[in-house]
Structure 1
């Protein structure tokens, strides 16, 4: 499965490095993190990481294969 997590604002290099398994791109005033998610536990782990870093998740969606 591939997912996209849309974060409010521009992430610093340090914050981007907290997600080594995902690629990222900045669009307007948002950062898109995207890449493979191996299972539901991995997905919840990514969301927990966002929460612990104080990131504002705007949207999360599964991408077509």
Structure 2
């Protein structure tokens, strides 16, 4: 169920310090998106998904939404 690529939308722009911490997780990509920031990550299982959410909480990020992205290899 949890396996796939996810988009985590957090409110506001994130600081360079937080970008550096998140950037330590090589599978994460950070994209500024207006009044929000998008973090993309490959998620192999539910434990990893919960770990990313815990990291966001520990960094004081307000997660607005979490969305599993469609798998391009499964597209019709």
TM-score (normalizing by structure 2): 0.79
Provide the aligned length of Structure 1 versus Structure 2: 65
Q: Report whether the alignment pairs 1:49 with 2:49.
A: no
Gaps of 5+ in 1: none
Larger Rg: 2
Moved over 4 A (4+): none
TM-score (normalizing by structure 1): 0.91
Structure scoring higher RCO (CA < 8 A, sep ≥ 6) equals 1
How far apart, CA to CA, are the structure 2 residues paired with 1:38 and 1:16? 22
For 2:32, the equivalent position in structure 1 comes to 26
Gaps of 5+ in 2: 72-76
Larger helix proportion of the pair: 2
How far apart, CA to CA, are the structure 1 residues paired with 2:17 and 2:49? 21
